[in-house]
Structure 1
């Protein structure tokens, strides 16, 4: 199964390079079900993989001057602190055994995988709908960022990222467009920078709690980064909107399957 897992690592970056988002949502299921890693350590590794691939992606946007560092700081600082605190203190404090209901045992791993699968469902719906976020017409004259709303959203995303090891781009992008008044391309580039900072800083919290297999992690991340360049090279030949919709349906099916598997199978 490991050979499929390494091949899937390439798919993570490939999807990110083709669609600009979504690939990171595959990382945890690949690590858990193909690489046979514990869900908790898988979410820690996911933060490193997501952070590394997003950092490469954000640099490509930076070269095109499509990253707002001021917005990234306003949104990212509270988010970054929250994800570090969550990974350093909250996740390790969750008991390994939570409850037993007849034949069903709710463990820490089951809880985190169920939360992650729920995030997959919401992310898939965002991709399937292909909603185009934009500043409402009556607000276009006022381009002043809504700083309090950005801070609240930043804390919320940090908590979600810290709990399940995912970037949360489907939450960050609409927040940047609606509350920071960025255009869509600038929001995507800024979102990748925020995801990179959140994920890598959250992973620092995990270094204190777990033994890291750096050889495996760097190999897996390297394949994912390689996938970004392949996906970017192919992106002009493939209709990204249709691809994202199809990928959204795949993520939806996977999310539902994980929920059923963890709770009932």
Structure 2
């Protein structure tokens, strides 16, 4: 199968995840770029950030139109994560890849387990934003974004649901704002690797992901938050197990 077809297929899946779940794009894009398209881990994380930045911004616009973005909380998360994301992105290049892959898998699995726990009942009104909680959580997630080369949506969504008691649809929309900002901050520290990016693969991958994000947005409007949460958790657990086995296999 040609690289173009693989890039288009993988991009569609990544976009669908971002549009419907508000995250999961990088956690799916990185393995696809490595195992399907032959990218090195370093090149894959950089390419993933490029793809997810463009796709998440597109999906953010779609969710904003339906009022599913909590701008105040999202801004706090994003602002708190900018410097940690940039610093961790610079440090990531000095760490052995198996350590990064293992950390990626463990964090994804923990996020999935937390998503499977029963959520707090929604009151139907936007929750009160706790600035300290939002800023502290945002800083931690920003650091993980830079370190692991992911947009961070697969961590932001659980954090918004469990820490700030967001309903799932608002968590999905707001996470896209945080993903866009964190991904840009992390990309700023990877200038050397973006210069040699494989654009003939990245461009169609990104285009398919953007189109998939619109389909994902429509899917999110038709499916309950509980089901979305379970699907999100199942995807995270599967990818975490795959990457952990790969990291620990000689």
TM-score class, shorter-chain normalisation, is: 0.7 to 0.9
In 2, distance between residues paired with 1:188 and 1:247? 11
In structure 2, the CA distance between the partners of 1:18 and 1:118, relative to structure 1 (3 Å rule), is same
Q: Does 1:122 align with 2:148?
A: no
Partner residue, 2:92: 91
Offset at residue 42 of structure 1 (A): 1.0
Partner residue, 1:100: none
Partner residue, 2:234: 249
Q: Does 1:173 align with 2:145?
A: no
**Cα RMSD after superposing both structures:** 3.1
User: For 1:17-54, what per-residue CA distance to the aligned partner results, in whole angstroms no more than 9, with x for missing partners?
Assistant: 34444344211110111111111221121112222221
Give the 3-state SS of the residue equivalent to 1:151 in structure 2: helix
In 2, distance between residues paired with 1:241 and 1:178? 13
1:42 pairs, out of 33, 41, 44, with: 44
Q: Does 1:157 align with 2:145?
A: no
Partner residue, 2:101: 113
TM-score (structure 1 length as normaliser): 0.78
1:132 pairs, out of 119, 122, 132, with: 119
Offset at residue 57 of structure 1 (A): 1.4
Partner residue, 1:105: none
Question: Bigger shift: 27-36 or 15-24?
Answer: 15-24
Partner residue, 1:260: 245
In 2, distance between residues paired with 1:249 and 1:176? 19
User: For 1:97-146, what per-residue CA distance to the aligned partner results, in whole angstroms no more than 9, with x for missing partners?
Assistant: xxxxxxxxxxx22222222222332243345x2642457x9xx9xx6532
In structure 2, the CA distance between the partners of 1:194 and 1:122, relative to structure 1 (3 Å rule), is same
Structure 1: unaligned runs, 5 residues or longer: 95-107
Superposed, 1:1-265 pairs within 5 Å as 2=3, 3-87=5-89, 89-94=90-95, 108-127=96-115, 129=116, 131-133=118-120, 145-176=129-160, 182-210=166-194, 211-234=196-219, 241-242=226-227, 245-246=230-231, 248-265=233-250
In 2, distance between residues paired with 1:239 and 1:148? 30
Structure 2: unaligned runs, 5 residues or longer: none
Offset at residue 180 of structure 1 (A): 5.1
Corresponding residue pairs, total: 246
Larger Rg: 1
In 2, distance between residues paired with 1:72 and 1:119? 21
Alpha carbons 1:113, 1:258 under 8 Å: kept? yes
In structure 2, the CA distance between the partners of 1:224 and 1:83, relative to structure 1 (3 Å rule), is same
Give the 3-state SS of the residue equivalent to 2:188 in structure 1: helix
